[in-house]
């Protein structure tokens, strides 16, 4: 790839991270007014519309006719659980700490790769995984002010996102991206609303509020399209370390918008997680082709 193409890819990637961070802040504000199922409804109406346009451009309206249906829908289910857990956790979790726990997903992916992908992480990668989990313990340490339920939901979200990434690796080159995206959108639209079966949302948005939620979801969809455009222009190894700028944005938004700055130990834990993730990205660049590559942020 040329230097100019890589530079454009980096610019698009940074813009995508900004859109993701802004959507997370928007979602955090919205779950204070509406149930997480309602916020997810707005998001996946927008993402579903993007999926329909993509399928139309691809000329195939039947993602269920693709091969590897079991893996395809299991992948979609993992992202659905991720989205449900993440949005529900935001009701009680500070944005910075929630984002930091979520960003342990690439570390979990490397830890699971020997069993699920048959890959062998290097000692450097194992060291990064252990350091990243130590950083998470600094954030969720006993006696901290983080709510237990929200913390557990974020851990579930990170674990399911790691499994989503593993399944994405397995399906790469086997199922068209449009079919993967459409199955994800369909599953998320359904699964994220299953909690409503246990009790209807206490507050329903009016048409204006619902339009705002859909517009927020469109911002999330735009971020996903920007990621795809960035990946076409710049190498994964170049973009992966930049992921952790979103964690910095989450800290700034949490501190100045929501007046919930993380404490010193939590900040230290976030720094360790970010350093571990960057180490994984650099190790993957130098590793042999059979070694796992770092997971890159994808839509929740």
Q: From residue 151, how far is each of 47, 89, 155, 158, 282 by CA, in Å?
A: 27, 7, 6, 11, 29
Residue 170 domain flag = yes
Residue-level pLDDT at 98:
93
Closest CA to 279 of 134, 122, 88, 138: 122
Residue 292 domain flag = no
Cα atoms in the Cβ-side hemisphere of radius 13 Å centred on 203: 12
Query: pLDDT by residue (tens digit) across 34-90?
Result: 999 999 999 999 999 998 888 888 776 566 677 788 888 999 999 999 999 999 999
The pair of three-digit structure tokens given for residue 206, joined into one six-digit string: 């009016």
Residue-level pLDDT at 300:
55
Residue-level pLDDT at 88:
94
The pair of three-digit structure tokens given for residue 243, joined into one six-digit string: 């992921």
Question: Given pLDDT bands bounded at 50, 70 and 90, which one contains residue 2?
Answer: low
Question: Given pLDDT bands bounded at 50, 70 and 90, which one contains residue 154?
Answer: very high
Please state which of the ranges 52-56, 60-64, 192-196, 244-248 shows the lowest mean pLDDT. 60-64
Residue 231 domain flag = yes
Residues 6+ apart with CB under 8 A from 142: none
Question: Given pLDDT bands bounded at 50, 70 and 90, which one contains residue 203?
Answer: confident
Question: Left (φ > 0), alpha (ψ -120 to 50) or beta: where does 203 sit?
Answer: beta
Residue 229 domain flag = yes
Residue 293 domain flag = no
DSSP letter, residue 102: H
Asked whether residue 150 carries a pLDDT value surpassing 50, the answer given is yes
Residue 258 domain flag = yes
Residue 294 domain flag = no
Domain extent at residue 13: 3-286
Question: Given pLDDT bands bounded at 50, 70 and 90, which one contains residue 299?
Answer: very low
Residue 298 domain flag = no
149-176 burial, b if ≥16 CB within 10 A, otherwise e?
ebbebbbbbbbbbbbbbbbbbbbeeebb
Distance of alpha carbon 19 from alpha carbon 259, whole angstroms: 21
Number of domains in the chain: 1
How many Å separate Cα 196 from the centre of its chain? 23
The pair of three-digit structure tokens given for residue 112, joined into one six-digit string: 């699971």
The residue behind tokens 């593993």 is 166
Closest CA to 82 of 183, 191, 169: 191
The residue behind tokens 């990637």 is 13
- pLDDT (mean) for 236-264: 86
């Amino acid at each position: 790839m040329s230097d100019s193409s890589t530079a454009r890819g980096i610019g698009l990637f940074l813009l995508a991270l900004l859109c993701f961070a802004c959507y997370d802040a928007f979602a955090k504000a919205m779950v204070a007014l509406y149930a997480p199922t309602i916020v997810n409804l707005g998001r996946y109406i927008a993402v579903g519309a993007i999926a329909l346009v993509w399928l139309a451009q691809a000329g195939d309206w039947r993602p269920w006719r693709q091969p590897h249906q079991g893996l395809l829908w299991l992948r979609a289910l993992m992202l659905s659980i991720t989205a449900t857990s993440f949005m529900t956790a935001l009701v009680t979790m500070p944005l910075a700490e929630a984002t930091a726990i979520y960003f342990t997903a690439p570390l979990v992916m490397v830890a699971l790769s020997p069993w699920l992908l048959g890959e062998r992480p290097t000692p450097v990668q194992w060291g990064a995984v252990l350091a990243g989990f130590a950083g998470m313990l600094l954030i969720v340490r006993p006696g901290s002010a983080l709510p237990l339920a929200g913390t557990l939901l974020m851990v579930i979200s990170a674990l399911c996102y790691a499994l989503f990434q593993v399944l994405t690796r397995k399906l790469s080159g086997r199922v068209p991206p449009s079919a993967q995206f459409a199955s994800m959108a369909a599953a998320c639209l359904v699964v994220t609303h299953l909690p409503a079966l246990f009790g209807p949302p206490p507050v329903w948005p009016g048409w204006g509020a619902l339009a705002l939620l859909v517009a927020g979801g469109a911002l999330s969809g735009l971020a996903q399209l920007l990621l795809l455009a960035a990946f076409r222009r710049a190498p994964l190894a170049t973009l992966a370390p930049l992921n952790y700028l979103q964690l910095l944005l989450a800290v700034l938004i949490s501190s100045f918008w929501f007046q919930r700055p993380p404490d010193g130990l939590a900040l230290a834990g976030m720094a360790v997680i970010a350093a571990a993730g960057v180490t994984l990205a650099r190790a993957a660049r130098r590793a042999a082709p059979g070694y796992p590559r770092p997971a890159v942020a994808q839509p929740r």
